[in-house]
């Protein structure tokens, strides 16, 4: 699993790492956004909370994650991105995984706060294929359309400056305690997420392979 504050690069790194290790990228944020876009029952339940930068309830998240991890493509392992986000969810994950919990590795992307805000507010996402770009990063695609599938690039409703503050508060109060939880279990690995994306990528792979 990848842990880290909003904007730490978790989503982008999770996708790259999953691709390299040939295992699924299980992103709860992407799953919930898809549910909202499709207008499903789940989407209706979570839309307002997400747009305000608040967390969805632990019970609902347990159902969503348990259902996803029961799919056959998850048998060889997954990269979890966005789950767990509270200590209750960490216990739920242990219960969902059962014996497989012994194989968990928690990689924490440690990123300075000023770097985070710029990354989030500048982020543009493709609603069609999930491609992520940044208007402050000249190396990333930054036109009005996605360079992979040609769909429109948009700013996520929860990436607006005021909502970012709410997400940071949620993170500090509810998610940061997870670091202590996984440290105590000896499962925490720390990666310097301030560095360039390819460097961070190699560091994450190294940490997973040596665990
Ligand atoms: P971030 O860029 O903040 O890491 P994500 O894409 O992972 O964002 O998640 C977006 C939103 O989806 C969160 O702000 C929250 O509302 C909801 N969400 C995602 N995962 C969880 C979770 N494990 N528990 C509760 N809410 C979640």
C-alpha to C-alpha distance for 105 and 137, rounded to whole angstroms? 30
Task: Extract the tokens encoding 191.
Answer: 């990666």
Tell me the β-bridge partners of 84: none
User: Which 8-state DSSP code applies to residue 71?
Assistant: S
Query: Choosing from 62, 123, 131, 189, which is the catalytic residue?
Result: 123
Quick one: pLDDT band at residue 58, thresholds 50, 70, 90? very high
The three-state secondary structure class of 133 is: strand
In tens, the pLDDT along 69-82 reads: 999 999 999 999 99
| 38 in active site | no
Question: pLDDT > 70: what percent of the chain?
Answer: 98
* Residue 119 pLDDT: 85
Q: CA 133 to CA 136: how far, in whole Å?
A: 9
pLDDT band at 132 (very low <50, low <70, confident <90, very high): confident
Q: Identify the residues whose C-beta falls under 6 Å from ligand 1.
A: 6, 10, 28-29, 32, 49-50, 53-56, 61, 82-83, 85, 89, 158, 167
Question: Is 10 one of the catalytic residues?
Answer: yes
DSSP string, 172-208: IIIITHHHHHHHHTT-EEEEETTS-HHHHHHHHHHHH
Whether residue 140 is predicted with pLDDT greater than 80 in this model: the reply is no
Predicted structure pTM score = 0.86
Q: Which of 5, 15, 32 to mutate to test the pocket of ligand 1 (most atoms within 8 A of CB)?
A: 32
Measured CA distances, 167 to 48, 67, 136, 197 (Å):
14, 26, 21, 23
Handedness of CA 206, 17, 142, 125 (dihedral sign): negative
Query: Tell me, what's the pLDDT at 161?
Result: 86
Among 166, 164, 169, 207, which residue's Cα sits nearest to residue 188? 207
- Mean pLDDT, rounded, for 174-178: 96
**What pLDDT is stored for residue 138 in this prediction?**
67
Instruction: Return left, alpha or beta for 83; rule: phi > 0 is left, psi -120 to 50 is alpha, else beta.
Output: beta
Residue 101 near residue 93, CB atoms below 8 Å: yes
């Amino acid at each position: 699993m990848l842990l880290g504050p909003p904007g730490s690069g978790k989503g982008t790194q999770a996708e790259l790492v999953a691709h390299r290790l040939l295992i699924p990228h299980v992103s709860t944020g992407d799953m919930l956004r898809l549910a909202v876009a499709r207008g499903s029952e789940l989407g209706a339940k979570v839309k307002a909370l997400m747009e305000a930068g608040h967390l969805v309830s632990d019970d609902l998240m347990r159902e969503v994650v348990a259902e996803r991890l029961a799919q056959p493509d998850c048998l060889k392992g997954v990269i979890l991105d966005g789950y767990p986000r509270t200590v209750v969810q960490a216990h739920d994950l242990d219960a969902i995984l059962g014996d497989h919990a012994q194989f968990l590795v928690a990689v924490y992307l440690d990123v300075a706060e000023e770097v985070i805000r710029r990354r989030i507010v500048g982020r543009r996402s493709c609603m069609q294929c999930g491609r992520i770009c940044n208007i402050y990063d000249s190396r990333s695609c930054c036109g009005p359309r996605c360079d992979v599938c040609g769909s429109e690039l948009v700013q996520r409703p929860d990436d607006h400056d005021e909502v970012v503050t709410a997400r940071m508060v949620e993170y500090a109060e509810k998610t940061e305690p997870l670091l202590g939880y996984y440290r105590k279990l000896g499962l925490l690995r720390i990666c310097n997420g301030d560095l360039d994306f390819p460097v961070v990528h190699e560091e994450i792979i190294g940490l997973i392979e040596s665990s």
